[in-house]
A and B are shown apart, each in its own frame.
Chain A
């Protein structure tokens, strides 16, 4: 599904290298977790993959289903099946949440040569998904993420994921800033979206989320490179020993 080979990337303004030869391969239907200390390049990875401005790729390749995505615009990556659940979902006053989601779904469908969903069809779809994910009708009526609590914002990201049905989901610190009940709710949403044809990359600081969304593979990211890969037990080990031990090994 997603193959990252020897990826190097830097901040455009400072040309400061952040990713230093990152390799990663996520197969169809798998859930991978990337853990790493502050400044290791976790969020940079999510932005580089989704095509945010301000970063420059200085080497390597990223393929989604065999297609090079690095030359694509962010919207083309979405059409190709990539989805980023933001660490800090953006508030957009003046744009209704429902209108936004319908516009996004129809933009994707149009680009893929599919007929657009009518307002009535979309309403049925969004209502059923919202119910599953504990998104209140009120959240659908409000402007995008505007005035949402931390938990509401993250649930709204998962709702978009459910509606847009991407192949490759990157969840950037989806658990950050959430209380334990909110983490459980979000995790339940993510679990409901697991399955063949959809892979998930969880980026997280802490092992906590992985208690609720059990990954197939865990990677440890330090200084812009994967320094260790293992099963769910690796996350527990890091929780126990900390990242410094790994950095020391690497050195």
Chain B
């Protein structure tokens, strides 16, 4: 038998943090501000509260299923059909996530660094990273995440605090922005940004105990919330409301205005390193899980032979949208508005059914 994969709490947190926070480097702050206006920075806090609520429900329900991932639980709940349906649903979600992110980051790189290169050329670098990452498996990926994510986080903090000279606190007023309705009702759907949390239910067997899973979940939500809020807030402090929704890459725009004396100007290119590292980390982890779920759902023995077929699918899919605007629209319409149903509601449903189904044996086990 192959050695079991396990990793520690720090690795799990770093992996999830990176996966959740990747939209921050893309359009997240812009979308917050589009929704909330000058109160855009409140929405990350609000959706954090929502995510914590969702997660509390899920982890409570999860208590009885320590060490099982969501696909196993679906089998307990709905049998083989449930397992396959859940697997496919999750896989589709992650394929969508990876595809959109891959395309956005490629476009991002093309816009900020490699203007004349064909898109497939730029994408090839991400594809290479994904294939390598997936080939080597989840363990090296999370280990590498635990090294690289703190560095990415530091770089991010360097950007948001490095532009402190341009902060203007007045940009936050009027304090309620587009009004409470926009913040709390339109903002509700933005809880989808926490949907990569679904990976936590997949790595449940790797982190072993329910307690670790619980700590990992809460810490990840809170940490990503801090970064989300900080990113949006600082972006809003530098770019006042109407202009802040113009930019395709908000955090990049922050990096652009950074200037220290005559020598340290235009250091935004350095952050290409951070962006690409974050994206590659996230994409290869996402891609690994696509293949992993497929293997798990259909109970296959090997994962590696599928890498090529899936990478070709994802590569093709991500080149499908005709232009960047379509991608952004897709992102806005589906990724950031709808995915919460799959990642936050669907697990609750599965867990509830599984719990009802397995209630009796559980009780027996307890009384014994």
Are A and B subunits of one complex? no
Interface residues of B (CB under 8 A from A): none
